[in-house]
Amino acid sequence: MSLTTYWLEHAWLGTHVEPGIALEVTADGRIGALRTGVEAPPPGAEVLRGLTVPGLANAHSHAFHRALRSTVQIGSGTFWTWRDLMYKVAQNLTPDSYFALARAVYAEMALAGITNVGEFHYVHHAPGGAPYADPNAMGEALIEAAAAAGIRITLLDTAYLSAGFGEAPNPHQRRFSDGTAEAWAERASALKPRAHALIGAAIHSVRAVPADQLATVAGWAAEREAPLHVHLSEQTAENDACHSAHGVTPTRLLADHGVLGPRTTGVHNTHLTDADIALLGATTTGTCMCPTTERDLADGIGPATRLQQAGSPLSLGSDSHAVIDLLEEARAMELNERLRSRTRGHWTANALLTAATADGHAALGLADAGRLEAGALADFTTIALDSVRTAGTPTRLGAETAVFAATAADVRHTVVGGRHVVRDGAHALVEDVPSALSEAIAALRA
């Protein structure tokens, strides 16, 4: 039984752009049929003019970092000075204020064509570290915020136990910590998936989870066949400290404790040795690049081309939300590599869109999303081909236009589970997203 028929003026089908497609959505929110060569909208069809692509997957998010936008651009500094400012925002979060902020941030994502977010969640407890009456109140706030904004979420509940290689958490970090990996696992086990939400796991970093507890987190994820993410070699200081503590690189340490594998994604993977790259590729461990954050924090340019060639699937994330624009993340990955290598064309537009769609959803545990084909989740977004950025290019080059010219501002429609979340650039569930953002962020500074 068909619930809705959409007529797509142009659609990206993974390898090429096809004009005139009728896409039928079933009652359970999946693509029931997809017919090409339909030159005009069928009677009663929802018309999507522009280029429709699968919904974008934001594989790495810290929702509360959105409150830092612009305020951290004053003066100079490093990742570590930026982190001090981040801690101050984290201290002011409550379950209610985090729901309000995340709802607005996820609505901003929907406006940018994102239909699924991987939320790397580590603000678990009250300031000082005391659990809330519901130990998962903060995680539940994020899950409900995604529902209120109309997008899917994979909550990557994060083990964050140490200030660095066994050091006790500092005062700002106490609310992140469960004390031990076993206590983390007990709390995380109480989180339940629902129609729009999956539950995964994360290791904050090799700094934040002692080596003898890494296997506990990895085992929890393995038992549930859940995604497992980890910040990996984002900073050279992390590598140096790991060598001092264990005599190996962070990648080798994770491998030695059973963390790597096809359900695991390393986030950033910036400062790697040749042996690290080989290990990640051989284990089919994924790589989530976050170029706008990596350049914002002056982290460096990760070896994405070499990682993919070695066998590591690529996904993309907006991380600290310096901007929320997956098209910019895709473009930046290629342009960063051009600057480093002084050659062009490391990835095709099709490959970059695949990283932003199918491979991103797979990294978040949704293998049935990110494709416009029968049986897939009916999650898709439409990009204008007639804006000042996109007008004048041949429609057969729609993928190139989307990746190398369009921005989040060109997203016209976003559909999740067959239902409009964004229509003609307006959010259907959050009436005034800019005001929602302003109010939620102001409350954290009060």
| β-sheet bridge partners, residue 167 | 164
Distance CA 142, CA 394 (A): 41
Distance from chain centroid for Cα 215: 24
Is the four-CA dihedral 382, 386, 389, 392 of positive or negative sign?
Answer: positive
Q: Which two tokens stand for residue 209?
A: 């989870």
CB 119 within 8 A of CB 155: yes
Candidates 246, 248, 288; CA nearest to 264 is 288
Beta strands 264-268 and 286-289, pairing class: parallel
The full DSSP string for 277-307 is HHHHHHTT-EEEE-HHHHHHTT-----HHHH
CB 177 within 8 A of CB 160: yes
What are the φ/ψ torsions at residue 256 (nearest 5 degrees)?
A: -65, -20
332 SS3 class = helix
- Which among 157, 178, 319, 325 is annotated as catalytic? 319
CB 91 within 8 A of CB 33: no
Distance CA 398, CA 10 (A): 8
Distance CA 213, CA 224 (A): 18
Residue 276 annotated among the catalytic residues of the structure:
no
Give the H or E element holding residue 143. helix 137-149
Q: Which residues are within 8 A (CB) of 442 and not within 5 positions of it... i.e. 6 or more apart? A: none
Residue the block writes with tokens 């040749």: 274
Residue 319 annotated among the catalytic residues of the structure:
yes
Q: Which two tokens stand for residue 341?
A: 């290598």
CB 95 within 8 A of CB 399: no
Residue the block writes with tokens 């930026």: 82
- Which among 125, 268, 361, 427 is annotated as catalytic? 268
Distance CA 30, CA 45 (A): 16
CB 351 within 8 A of CB 331: no
Residue 409 burial (CB < 10 Å; 0-12/13-18/19+)? middle
| β-sheet bridge partners, residue 50 | none
Q: How many CB atoms lie within 10 A of CB 419?
A: 13
Catalytic positions are: 268, 319
